[in-house]
Every structure is written in C-alpha cells, then in structure tokens.
Amino acid sequence: MELELNKKYELVAKVVYFNTGDSFKNCTVETEDGTQLNIKLNAINEKIVIGNVYLFKTTAIQKKENELALFCNLVLPLENNVSVDEYIRYLNVFFNSAPMKITAIKEEIEKYLNKITNPVLKKICRSIYKTEIANFYLFPAGKTFHHAYIGGLSYHTLSMLKASDAYIKIYPILNKDLVYAGIILHDICKTKEYSRPGGDFSVVGHLIGHLTMGTNLIHLTAFRLGLLEKEEVLLLEHIVVSHHGITSFGSLKKPQIPEALLIWYLDTIDTKFSELNIEIAKTNEGEFTDSIPAIDKTRFYKSKITKEEK
C-alpha cells in the first residue's frame, strides 16, 4: 500500500496481532484482500480486540526518514458504520460462513414459520422473530464448534426444522406447531449471548446465558401480547429451558413433553454431525479423523466404501 504523507485513509480490517512496548502500541490488521498492515495506536484505541473487524480512520505519518506509517485517529465498530448489506459482505470476507446463502436460509425458515397455524404460537414466534431477524441470520450457533461461523445459528435452526419433519410424520403424539416454534426459538437469544458475530461472549451471555434469556423473552412477549395465561406459552418456555437435555450440559430442566425431548435430540444430533461432517471431509479414506471435542473426543474411521452412483 503506497502512502502519501498526511493523507487520511479509511480501511475496514480485522485485528490479527498486537505489538506493545513501554512507549508504543501497534496492531497488525488484515484487509479484505488479505494484505497485512501495521497501524500505530494511542490511548483511545485500547479497547480494540484481536479477531474483531473495525473501521479504522488513519493518517499517514513520518516514521523514519524515508518511511511512512499509518496512525489510527479513530476506530469504529463496523456494524454501526456501514450498511447492513455491506456489514454482511465484510463478515463473509473475514469469517467462515454458512454453506448456504443467507437469503436461501431465510426463505426456507420463513416457510416453516408460515406453517405454524396455532394462533398463540404463531403470534409469539412471529413477534420474536421480527425483533431478532437482523442478528439471527448473522450470528454463529457456537463459539468454537457447533456451527461456529457467520450464519451458523440460522443454518443450525434450518437443519433441525428439516430433520423434524420425518419425526412429525412418524409419531402422531408430536404437535407440529409446537415443534416448529420451539426449534425456531430454542437458540434465538444467542443473538445476545455473543458480543457480535465472530466475537466473544457478551457480559449477559457469561452471566445469564441463552436458555434463561430465551425463556424470559418468550414470557415478556406473551405478556405484551396478552397471552401469558395460555398453555402454549408454558410449553414453549419449557422447550427452551430444557433443550440442553441434562443439567451437566447446562439444561435448566429435563425435557418432560414429547416436543422438548425431540428438540433436545435434534439439537444434539445436528451439533455432533455438523462437526463430524467437517472432520470426515478432511480425512483420507481408510484413516481416522482427529479426536472431535464435540463428540467426546472420539476419532472416527472414514471407510473406503464408495457411494453408489445415481
């Protein structure tokens, strides 16, 4: 990057490294074309976090006799300073993203949302979906595994919805509307559990967590809509508090209705198979995967059996 003395430069970049000393603090950033640059920082830039993407406002200053450097005048959160479309584009540049386009995921999930006919579940689910839609299609489902990529939360939700259809057909005890609404809302507050897409846990994420926040959100929404005394609200809240299955996995209650039991199992299956799918794809036939933390650190064998041609 050719610099011109005293010229101002704006750039969107991801922080990858800090270099500090007694009298200086610099950071190395990566731009969207993969170029790494060094930016000099001052006291007002101390809250910059490695791994996050920011809008940097800089000025080219004299570093040495024949060398210029970028000095950071201001660093701004990206999400508050670019359009939504640009924000999504940058997130897809700097972070891994879902294997489907966000627009396609959104279209499929809204088909399931439209299949909910129970008026109570429909009103609550639509109301919450509307308030969380912007972040729902950007945030990951997990921090280090379990769809830990941009759009992972919505892709995980869609995978569970698709899988649920077979069980709904097989087992008549399952209420379709309750299953669909429970799946759509079970992880909805992961939009609050992380500080930003690709970021660390938020304070409320650390202290409260998405199960409690999700239950509270359903309760408050039902209160606002005048539906608090309806049994559907209680059942929906139970699905959210119990969808981790057992207390050692962070669940607040064990599933005690059929729909909650199904959603726990579907959540577990999708979490494990999404990681297994990634590891198997990286493994040669006739060899074992590395140990997979999400599946009790088990190593899986990739067989040599070829898929039958259609």
Confirm whether 169 is domain-assigned.
yes
Asked if residue 102 and residue 74 are part of one domain, the reply reads no
Give the pLDDT score at 43: 66
**Cα–Cα distance, 294 to 305 (Å, whole number):** 25
Give the pLDDT score at 116: 98
Rounded to two decimals, the pTM is 0.77
Confirm whether 195 is domain-assigned.
yes
**Cα–Cα distance, 205 to 187 (Å, whole number):** 12
Confirm whether 205 is domain-assigned.
yes
Asked if residue 255 and residue 170 are part of one domain, the reply reads yes
Give the pLDDT score at 309: 59
Asked if residue 198 and residue 69 are part of one domain, the reply reads no
Q: What rounded mean pLDDT belongs to the chain? A: 89
Name which of 153, 128, 106 is nearest 267 in CA terms: 153
Q: Domain containing 67 — which CATH number?
A: 2.40.50.140
SS3 157: helix
Asked if residue 103 and residue 63 are part of one domain, the reply reads no
Give the pLDDT score at 302: 95
Give the pLDDT score at 145: 58
Confirm whether 47 is domain-assigned.
yes
Give the pLDDT score at 294: 84
Give the pLDDT score at 100: 83
Contact by Cβ (8 Å): 246, 252: no
Confirm whether 298 is domain-assigned.
no
Confirm whether 1 is domain-assigned.
no
Burial 181-219 (b: 16+ CB within 10 A, else e): bbbbbbbbbbbbbbbbbbbeeeeebeeebbbebbbebbb
**Cα–Cα distance, 209 to 15 (Å, whole number):** 27
**Cα–Cα distance, 59 to 11 (Å, whole number):** 11
User: Which residue numbers in the chain have pLDDT < 70?
Assistant: 22-23, 43-46, 142-148, 198-199, 308-310
**Cα–Cα distance, 120 to 131 (Å, whole number):** 17
Last residue of a domain, one of 80, 115, 139: 80
Contact by Cβ (8 Å): 87, 137: no
Asked if residue 131 and residue 68 are part of one domain, the reply reads no
Contact by Cβ (8 Å): 78, 53: yes
Asked if residue 102 and residue 46 are part of one domain, the reply reads no
* Residues pairing with 27 in the sheet: 18, 39
Confirm whether 160 is domain-assigned.
yes
Asked if residue 111 and residue 40 are part of one domain, the reply reads no
Asked if residue 152 and residue 27 are part of one domain, the reply reads no
Asked if residue 125 and residue 27 are part of one domain, the reply reads no
Name which of 24, 26, 7 is nearest 16 in CA terms: 26
Give the pLDDT score at 180: 98
Contact by Cβ (8 Å): 250, 209: yes
Give the pLDDT score at 199: 66
124-159 pLDDT tens trace: 999 999 999 878 888 887 665 566 678 889 999 999
DSSP single-letter state for residue 43: G
CB atoms within 10 A of CB 239: 27
* Domain span at 19: 8-80
15-35 pLDDT tens trace: 988 887 766 788 999 999 989
Asked if residue 188 and residue 51 are part of one domain, the reply reads no
Asked if residue 269 and residue 120 are part of one domain, the reply reads yes
> Number of structural domains, the chain?
2
Asked if residue 194 and residue 51 are part of one domain, the reply reads no
Confirm whether 89 is domain-assigned.
no
